A = this chain, B = another copy of it.
Amino acid sequence: MNSFVIKGDIVFCPYQRQMVAIDDGYIVVRDGVIELPYVELPDSAKDLPVHDFTGKLVMPGMVDLHIHAPQYAFRGLGADMELLDWLTHYAFKEEAKYSDREYAEKAYTMFADALRYSATTRAAVFGTIHRESTVLLMDKLEKNGIVSYVGKVNMDRNSPESLTETTEDSYRETVEFLAEVDGRYRNTYPIVTPRFVPSCTDKLLQKLGWLSEQHDIPVQSHLSENPNEIKWVKELCPESRFYGEVYDSAGLFGSNTNTVMAHCVWSTDDEIALMKERGVFIAHCPASNMNVASGIAPIRRYLTEGLKVGLGSDIAGGQSVSIFTAMVEAMQLSRLYWRHIDSTKKPLSFPEALYMATKGGGRFFGKAGSFERGFEFDAIVIDDSALPHPQELNLRQRAERAVWLGGDQKGLVAKYVRGERLF
C-alpha cells in the first residue's frame, strides 16, 4: 500500500506566484495520493510509516512537456544550424535509424535510464514514425517508472524518404499503435503526434484529429518555433490565417482533447487568443530556442494572459534532460526579453519558474506537480548539503540554489512517482 508520511523540508508552488516552504514538515500520502502537507504530524497519520528526509529538500517531481526520445543520442552535438537545416542534417538522420529495432533497443535503454535518474517524473515524449520502436520505447518508460505520454510520430510529406510514410500507412500504423498499447501499461499512455505542419498533409491531420477525438487521446506537436518554418507553413497552407489554425481545422488544437504545443516563440495575437480559448498547453523549451536560434518566447505575456505554460527539455534541440536547467534558462531568457525586446514584460521569478516546471506542466497529466490535497504524489528529494556555503540560508534560498546549481540533479537522493518510490 502506498500510504506513508514524508518528513523533510518541503517546497512547492500551488500558484504561479506563490511558493510554499515548510521547514521540517510532513506530507501525508494515502494510496499514492496526497492528503495534505503539514507543519506538524497530525494524530490521524501517526500509524503510517515515516520516510524520513530530515534536512533534505522535498519538491514536486519535474514535468517535461516536450522531449524527443530518439534525439537523446546526439544531445550536445551539432548546435551550429537553425531549425530546418538542423532537422535535415541531424534530427532526421538519427531518427531514420529507429527502423532498426536493435539500434532502438540500445538507444532507448540509454534514454529511459537518463529519465529515471533525472528529476523528471512526468514527460510528453516524441518517438519516431516507427511503430515497433515506439512501443519498445513505451515498454522501457513503463519499466523505468515515470508517467509519460508517448507518440508514434506522423510524417507524410517534405521529409527524407526514410522518414516519409504514405498518408494511408501513417494513419493505419497509428490506429494499430493505439490498439497495440491500449491497456498495456499503468503509467504510459499514447498521444497523437503529428510532427509539425510542414511534414503532415491536411488529409493526414484530419485523420489524426478524428482519431484523437474518437479515442479521446491527447495531442502534441510543434508550433511557431522559427520564422522560416512559419513562412513555409504559410506557403503550404495559404488559406490559414495563422499556423495554429491549421491544427485547429483538423481538431488538433484543444477543441476535443488535451493538447500541448512546443515552443510558440512567434505566435501571433490571433494564435495566442485561440490557444487561450482552447486551453492549449505551451511547452516552453528555452535551451532549444537558443540552440537552434529560434528566439525568445514571450512567456511573461502567456502567463499574464492566463495561458497554460509548462517547461520542456526538447532533447536534442536542448542538450540537457534537466528541467532544473530549463527553469534557469527560462528565467535567464525572460531577462533578455525584458532588456532587448519589451521592457514592459517583467522577468520571471523563481516561484514562477518552479510553478511552470511542476504544476504548470503537471496539469497536462491531471492532478500532478503540486503537494495539494488530492494530487498524485510525485516528488524528488534533494540532499543539498554538498553545495557549500559559509552563511545561513533559509529554505526558500536553499530551493533556489539547488535549482540554479543543480543542473544535473546533483544530490537527487530519492524519487517518487504516483506514491511509488523509484529509488
Contacts and interface: CB of A to CB of B under 8 A. Distances in A.
Interface of A: 73-77, 79-80, 82, 94, 97, 103, 106-107, 110, 113-114, 287, 290-296, 319-320, 328, 331-333, 335-336, 338-341, 347, 349-350, 387-391, 393, 397, 400-401, 403-405, 407-408, 410
A215 B315 CA distance: 52
A77 B403 CA distance: 10
Contacts of A347: 80, 293
Given A293-B339, A295-B340, A296-B336, A400 B331 contact: no
B76 A293 contact: no
A76 B401 CA distance: 5
B390 A107 contact: yes
Contacts of A336: 290, 293, 295-296, 333, 336
A290 B110 contact: no
Contacts of A319: 328, 404-405
Give the number of times this chain occurs in the complex, counting copies: 2
Contacts of A404: 75-77, 79, 319
Given A295-B339, A319-B328, A339-B295, A110 B388 contact: yes
Contacts of A296: 336, 340
Contact of A400 (B77, B97, B332, B405): B77
Given A319-B328, A328-B319, A341-B340, A77 B293 contact: no
Contacts of A400: 76-77
A186 B82 CA distance: 47
B405 A75 contact: yes
A343 to B, nearest CB: 10
16 contacts: A73-B391, A74-B389, A74-B391, A76-B403, A77-B400, A77-B401, A79-B332, A94-B391, A107-B390, A110-B389, A114-B388, A291-B335, A319-B404, A320-B405, A407-B407, A407-B408
A76 B80 CA distance: 29
A103 B350 CA distance: 28
Contacts of A388: 110, 113-114
A357 B401 CA distance: 25
A198 to B, nearest CB: 20
Contacts of A106: 390
Contacts of A294: 339
Nearest to A402: B76
Contacts of A338: 293
A414 B216 CA distance: 55
A370 to B, nearest CB: 22
A283 to B, nearest CB: 19
Q: Which of A97, A390, A405 is packed against the most chain B CB atoms within 10 Å?
A: A390
Nearest to A337: B340
Contact of A73 (B114, B292, B390): B390
A286 to B, nearest CB: 9
A106 B393 CA distance: 15
Contact of A408 (B331, B390, B408): B408
A74 B405 CA distance: 11
A40 B196 CA distance: 50
Given A79-B335, A79-B350, A293-B338, 18 more contacts: A73-B390, A73-B391, A75-B404, A76-B387, A76-B401, A76-B403, A77-B401, A110-B390, A287-B332, A290-B333, A292-B335, A293-B339, A295-B339, A295-B340, A319-B405, A340-B340, A407-B407, A407-B408
Contacts of A408: 407-408, 410
B407 A77 contact: no
A339 B290 CA distance: 9
Contacts of A287: 332
Contacts of A295: 336, 339-340
A305 to B, nearest CB: 22
